[in-house]
Chain A
């Protein structure tokens, strides 16, 4: 092996510490929310109890659903049905009203009637957008910050490999009983190495998914800078013509759906089902019906089958399938979206995500631990990083738990100062998160333990409130086949237990820590 020069190692070390300390909280937030998003449909069912439906294979007639549309949706330019699956048992229903606003609801798959749903953004509406934009929508700033954090993460992983002196010799080494600083570094190294390929793939594939946003120029060049045309060519997106104003009946959507699925299945060799049924310009002679299959169950590579029919005649006007050139990037994207039906892999992703959280958290903690000994721990910079680390790690977990508790506690008609119920849940999250930073700034090290206790209490409270406010306590959920609810409860209990254990350990260590501090410089 060639020797790495001390200077080079030093430069890598510098980049590793400063990128980590500056972007650590963002990386932790993105990893944490991404980990939760792996189970977003299941958390959605937990948070919106009306959608806790045991899935059955049904022949749903979209002709009937369209015939029974609410009056305000009949002349809509955009009607979208999401075909129910085991993970999304309700029929998703979106439409654009006459005033241009989008209405989002769900239909009972058995009756086709609208479900009276708890007003909540839940995981798909909050955790997921948080994961990709931190909920900062202005000028796509959030996407850019997350992209920067993803890029930083790739640099951190590479520089980390150069800094680590004994990767092979200490690959399996973890010494929890050594001094706190050493144990933290061991855990940082161990959690980094065991998930390394996964930690590389996630930011890389995330950047690739947003390549269109980050690096549009090269792609746009082939289309004379027309980004909409470029996007349509690559994804099979179809823009409907202007409404003519002449009404015309719609041909059978069910027949078109069968034709589209037969076409795709013939091409693929296995049955391919549509995920989306979209009607543009409903009721007009320019109506268009659009079907799409994106997320196959049985493989990683996303498929991109799109079939577009003329609404009035029911004739196929566009049949799009992903060009083979896109296969590699479709694998990478599929690997990030985790929509395939491989449950053991889904769980490994979940634990891989938690491993990433541990890696980032212990990295930030090590930054603090290596500086407290130098008696720099009274400086303003140290105290700021300390508060940001505590709030960024245990704080966001606590805020997430508070979000779930608020979801079960707020009455269905809750509203405050013009903020609706779903908005209030989100406010609870932000206020709690902000609170944890202040708490950490004031209490410093002691805040770790207290926030752990608070996580344990709120996690258990969420489980108890679920049992109190819905018919599906754990036993009922398990025996009734509501796996999503039961597993969410079990993970909450396990998380609360872990937080309790961490709180106890921190309380035990609180006493000897002060003498530890004095002993550290000798290490």
Chain B
């Protein structure tokens, strides 16, 4: 159970960073290779996922550990996001398409 919570928190943190990055014009356009505008709710989704990862970590270890773990985990998510965007932003286009398809 604790492993599941850890993985879920990691995925939520990474997903949150990806959504926040895609909510910005330059990254959205690089990922989609188009001049369309990022959906408005991407930013809200990003913050919600980042908050969710904090919630999962508090559930797993309590607030005392989560206060240390969460900022570092989000930092790792931001690093992976920046790495993906700089290396192959189009890898993110299926994600973006999936997002817009649901709109």
Contact = CB atoms under 8 A, between A and B. Distances in A.
Interface of A: 169, 171-176, 190, 193-198, 201, 299-301, 331, 335, 340, 342, 344-345, 348-349, 351-352, 355
Nearest to A334: B64
Given A171-B20, A197-B71, 19 more contacts: A174-B85, A176-B86, A193-B78, A194-B78, A194-B79, A196-B71, A197-B72, A197-B75, A198-B71, A198-B75, A301-B64, A331-B64, A342-B61, A345-B65, A345-B72, A348-B69, A348-B72, A351-B72, A355-B79
A194 B68 contact: no
Contacts of B67: 300
27 contacts: A169-B24, A171-B21, A172-B20, A172-B21, A172-B24, A172-B81, A173-B26, A173-B82, A174-B82, A190-B79, A194-B75, A194-B78, A194-B79, A195-B72, A197-B71, A198-B71, A201-B68, A299-B62, A300-B64, A300-B65, A300-B68, A331-B64, A342-B61, A345-B69, A351-B72, A352-B75, A355-B79
Interface in B57-103: 61-62, 64-65, 67-69, 71-73, 75-76, 78-79, 81-83, 85-86
Nearest to B74: A194
Say whether chain B's binding surface is mostly helix, strand, loop, or mixed.
helix
Given A175-B86, A344-B6, A345-B69, A194 B76 contact: yes
A123 to B, nearest CB: 22
Contacts of A345: 65, 68-69, 72
A352 B73 CA distance: 10
A196 B65 CA distance: 17
Contacts of A194: 75-76, 78-79, 82
B59 to A, nearest CB: 15
B65 A172 contact: no
A194 to B, nearest CB: 4
B51 to A, nearest CB: 16
Contacts of B79: 190, 194, 355
A172 B17 contact: yes
A193 B20 CA distance: 15
6 A-B pairs closest in CB distance = A194-B75, A197-B71, A348-B72, A174-B86, A172-B21, A172-B82
Contacts of B24: 169, 172
Nearest to B72: A348
A198 to B, nearest CB: 6
B72 A174 contact: no
A206 to B, nearest CB: 15
